[in-house]
Amino acid sequence: MLVNDEFDVSIEAYSNLGKGIAKIDGQVVFVENACTEDLVKIKITDTAKNYANARVIDVIKPSEYRTEPICPLQKVCGSCQLGFIDYNYQLKLKKQFVEDAMKRIGGIDAQINDVIPSPKIKNYRQKIQYPVCQTKNSKRILAGYYKLQSHEIVNIKYCPVQPEICDEIIEFIRKNAPEYGITGYDEKRHIGDLRHIVVRGSEYSGKFLVTLVMNKSLHRFVVPLPLTREALPPHPLSLPLGEGAFAQEIFNNFDEVSGVCLNFNDKKTNVILGDKTICVAGSDYVEEKILDKIFKIGADTFFQINPKSAENIFKYVKNEVLKFDNPTVLDAYAGIATFGIIVSDISKNVVSVEENKSSIEKAKEVLRENNIENVELFAQDTVKYLKSIKRKFDITILDPPRKGCTQEVLEETLKHTSKEIIYVSCNPATLARDLKYLISKGCKVKNIQPFDMFCHTYHVETVAVVSV
């Protein structure tokens, strides 16, 4: 089997990275944009010792699960890998992803519940992070997601999984940035001004916080005072050209925009946001309502991108905490302490630990405005915090990033938890690994519940309930 060889194959299964699986002479081939039970003609794109990758060049006989792509750019945009598959079947695949991870990585033969679907499967995404570049000849600003397995930007002008106003805001930025002397970023040469456009929306208020990530350090920028919409001059284009004036122009042109921030990141890195953010116009947050609590989300605040689906997760976790009488709760990797705040009214007390200081500051505001007095906040690394205390909690809620928890975190969590661990994960593989470790220490997995947070992608959110 060589690169560019063509074959007719049947797709036998689906991988947890959103690719169809076929076999040629016993060798596994991963096929992009193929669905289980498809009969397709493929072209080999690269080979390795034990497998090959391929793309579809013709659908000979489509699977019953294949449907019209959610978007015309689905095949080239790397975002919605499952966007050509019937939604109900997407849910079955995601359950399979969790089952496979539990058995293959964790050696866990636990019952996996059916995936709880997202209440919205379009216009659900309330966080958009578009990389930006500029064409060599026409100098047009391009912004969108990367093509699959590349850093080539697909210039996206319409995305069905995000609110339509986001398309309008980003198009305004693309079109008008050059008028303010702002250039697009050249990743290879590390030159140009605008690296990313980040839009954070609110399902509750319909407002959006826009952040322009600039290839500069803060000390090179004269910080303007944040302006209200009423305080803007009548003709913003008469302002001096530059990032500050452009940020105010964005704010002035969209009533839906609650504020515009500038973030500064002049490092050669794939990390999107730098350490410093300033608010140029309006507010530096949007408000989101989950259950009966209102949260403030800033430019660098971690918060789920699909609030409606997130609400299902918070309900599920809260119902689990309700099984205990007035428990003490540790909320680790807390972000803006969403879980801690949600369960505060059914808990004796809650400790929320988050190393991002700006998230803790936002959480403090939420506590004040909701008159919550039984939640303690610590701007600290989870392990360092746990090693500094002697107390035990009835319940620990873990909500780590994709890489999961270190063994050290799990060890300390076990030392400081007396009854139950509720583990919220966005990566079945690392969840399975961590559950395997907890089981080896005598814990028992009571329940595993997947949720569809990221519709049309291979990502799945999972909550595992573990008795200590």
CB count in 10 Å sphere of residue 117: 17
How far apart, in whole angstroms, are the C-alpha atoms of residue 92 and residue 280?
Answer: 45
Find where tokens 């966080």 sit. Answer: 127
How far apart, in whole angstroms, are the C-alpha atoms of residue 44 and residue 249?
Answer: 48
Q: Which residues pair with 153 in a beta bridge?
A: 146
Query: Which stretches of 18-86 are DSSP H helices?
Result: none
Asked whether the beta carbons of 237 and 249 are under 8 A apart, the reply is yes
The per-residue pLDDT for 225 is: 55
Low pLDDT (below 70) residues in the chain:
219-241
The per-residue pLDDT for 64 is: 97
The per-residue pLDDT for 75 is: 87
Domain boundaries, the chain: 1-66, 96-119+306-467, 127-288
How far apart, in whole angstroms, are the C-alpha atoms of residue 286 and residue 259?
Answer: 8
Cα separation values, 302 from 8, 71, 453, Å: 45, 27, 15
Tokens of 39: 């009969």
Active site includes 426? yes
Tokens of 159: 């995305």
The per-residue pLDDT for 129 is: 96
The per-residue pLDDT for 239 is: 37
Does residue 229 sit in helix, strand or coil? coil
Q: From the options 3.90.800.10, 3.30.460.10, 2.40.50.1070, 2.20.25.10, give the CATH code of 127-288.
A: 2.40.50.1070
Rounded to an integer, what is the distance from CA 116 to the centroid of its chain? 18
Q: Count the alpha carbons within 13 Å of 349 in the hemisphere toward its beta carbon.
A: 8
Q: Give the pTM.
A: 0.90
Q: 443-464: string of b/e by CB count within 10 Å (b at 16+)? A: bebebbbbbbbbbbbbbbbbbb
Q: Which of 251, 221, 257 is CA-nearest to residue 236?
A: 251
Residues in the chain: 468
Tokens of 459: 């990502």
Name the amino acid, one letter, at 64.
Answer: E
The per-residue pLDDT for 217 is: 81
- pLDDT for 253-310, tens place per residue? 999 999 999 999 999 999 999 989 999 999 999 999 999 899 999 988 888 899 999 9
Query: Which CATH homologous superfamily contains domain 1-66?
Result: Nucleic acid-binding proteins (2.40.50.140)
Dihedral class, residue 333 (left if φ above 0, else alpha if ψ from -120 to 50, else beta): left
How far apart, in whole angstroms, are the C-alpha atoms of residue 466 and residue 468?
Answer: 6
Cα separation values, 223 from 180, 219, 248, 274, 276, Å: 16, 9, 13, 16, 12
The per-residue pLDDT for 238 is: 38
Domains 1-66 and 96-119+306-467 share a fold: no
Could you say which of 133, 279, 426, 443 is catalytic?
Answer: 426
Topology of the domain covering 96-119+306-467 = Rossmann fold (3.40.50)
Asked whether the beta carbons of 164 and 245 are under 8 A apart, the reply is no
The per-residue pLDDT for 309 is: 97
The per-residue pLDDT for 76 is: 87
Does residue 271 sit in helix, strand or coil? coil
Please give the DSSP secondary-structure letter assigned to residue 114: P
Asked whether the beta carbons of 207 and 293 are under 8 A apart, the reply is no
DSSP letters along 303-344, please? --S-HHHHHHHHHHHHHHHTTSSS-EEEEES-TTTHHHHHTG
Sign of torsion, CA 364 366 369 372?
negative
